[in-house]
Amino acid sequence: MSDTPNLSPLSDDSNDADDDTSGKKGGFNILILLPLVVFLALAVLFMWQMASGTNPNIVPSVLINKPAPNFDLAPLDASFGIRTPEGGIMPGFDTESFKGKVSVVNVWASWCPTCRDEHPLLLQMTEDKRFDLLGLAYKDEPANSARFLKNHGNPFDKVGMDISGRVGIDWGVYGAPETFIVDRTGTIRYKHIGALTPQSLQAAFLPKLEEILAEK
């Protein structure tokens, strides 16, 4: 009697392999869709903001309606020859500078391209003497700050040098430019992230500034 090989195990292995292959071909990794889902969610949020009139540059801050942090910023050195719009020596500023007068604090730097874009608007704001326009020079070297103001004009009543960026961190600054409105009590009332534009000024910033200026 001749021996005949038992082929049934081989047949079983082959079927298992076919099953594995078909499973792999038919499987789908849902994580592949995750970036698309995130993108679509952000797009829907942006469209909702636009449709509702919400300004995407207005970012909630834990400091809104709270006193400005304690700080004391040194002035831009007088040897650079930068003067106030009225021609006086440029002072620095601190927390006490806010008491008794509405202040607009602009976070800027010479290395910031969009700061140059909004600078003409800041120069226009110097015509309104009802508030102080204060420049917080963020992570900038004094010589570079002075060169920027010489080349583009100085709109600021005071300039404080935040060379280390420590004060900016205390204010919750994301980067330059940013602009805050501080009321007469030293309370931060408004924050705009990014460069001011004619549109954002008219739509939100100036109405809020007028509201705060009207308060007694």
Least confident of 15-29, 31-45, 93-107, 169-183: 15-29
**5, pLDDT greater than 80:** no
- What pLDDT score was predicted for residue 40? 74
Instruction: State which amino acid sits at residue 57.
Output: N
Average pLDDT for 128-150: 98
Q: Which residues pair with 158 in a beta bridge?
A: 134
pLDDT in tens, 7-40: 444 444 444 444 444 444 456 666 677 777 666 7
pTM of the model: 0.73
Mean pLDDT of the chain: 84
Residue among 69, 87, 56 nearest 154 (CA): 87
Distance CA 61, CA 1 (A): 91
Q: How confident is the model at residue 168 (pLDDT cuts 50, 70, 90)?
A: very high
**69, pLDDT greater than 50:** yes
> Taking the chain, what is the end-to-end CA distance rounded to the nearest angstrom?
115
- What pLDDT score was predicted for residue 62? 84
Q: Which two tokens stand for residue 91?
A: 């002072």
98 touches 69 (CB < 8 A): no
- What pLDDT score was predicted for residue 3? 43
